[in-house]
Amino acid sequence: MVQLLKKIVFHQQFQKLGIYGFGQAFNLVTPLLVVPYIVSVCGEENFGKTAVGMAIAFFLIVFVDFGSDIIGVREVAVNRDNPKALNKIFTTTYAVKAIILIVVLVVTSIIFLSFSYFLSEYKMFFLGLLVLLGQFINPTWFLQGIENVKWITILNVISKTIYLAGIFFTVKHEHDYIYINMWWGIGMIISNFVMFILVVKKHQFSFLTVNKSEVVNHIKNDFSMFSSQIFVSLQLYAPVVLISYFGSNLMAGQYRIVEQIIVIFKTYIFLFFNYVFPKVCFLVEFDYEKGIKNWIIYNGANLFFITIAMIVLHIFSYETVSFFNPTNRYILSNLLQVAVFIPLILAVSIPLKQLILALNHKLYYVRLTSIMVILNLVSIIILLPQLQVYGVFYSLIATDLIIIIFYLYKLKKTKKLL
pLDDT at residue 280, rounded to an integer: 67
pLDDT at residue 8, rounded to an integer: 42
Do 185 and 128 form a contact (C-beta atoms < 8 A)? yes
pLDDT at residue 24, rounded to an integer: 66
Do 91 and 207 form a contact (C-beta atoms < 8 A)? yes
pLDDT at residue 258, rounded to an integer: 87
Local structure of residue 177 (DSSP, 8 states): G
Tell me the C-alpha distance between 115 and 170, whole Å.
29
* pLDDT tens, residue by residue, 357-396: 777 777 788 788 888 888 988 998 898 888 888 988 999 8
pLDDT at residue 274, rounded to an integer: 64
Q: Which residues contact 399 (CB under 8 A, 6 or more apart)?
A: 235, 372, 373, 375, 376, 379
Q: CA nearest 350: which of 254, 252, 263, 271?
A: 271
Amino acid at 48: G
Q: How far is CA 323 from CA 34, 68, 261, 307, in A?
A: 11, 37, 10, 22
Domain ranges for the chain, please list them: 2-414
Q: CA nearest 47: which of 246, 350, 306, 251?
A: 251
pLDDT at residue 22, rounded to an integer: 67
pLDDT at residue 277, rounded to an integer: 64
Do 293 and 283 form a contact (C-beta atoms < 8 A)? no
Our CA angle for 68, 35, 185, nearest 5°, is: 35
Residues 83, 85, 88, 90, CA torsion sign: negative
Instruction: Please report the DSSP string for 291-334 in residue order.
Output: HHHHHHHHHHHHHHHHHHHHHHHHHTHHHHHHTT--S-HHHHHH
Instruction: Please report the DSSP string for 135-153 in residue order.
Output: HHH--HHHHHHTT-HHHHH
Residue ranges of the chain with per-residue pLDDT less than 70: 1-24, 224-225, 228, 272-288, 291, 325-326, 415-418
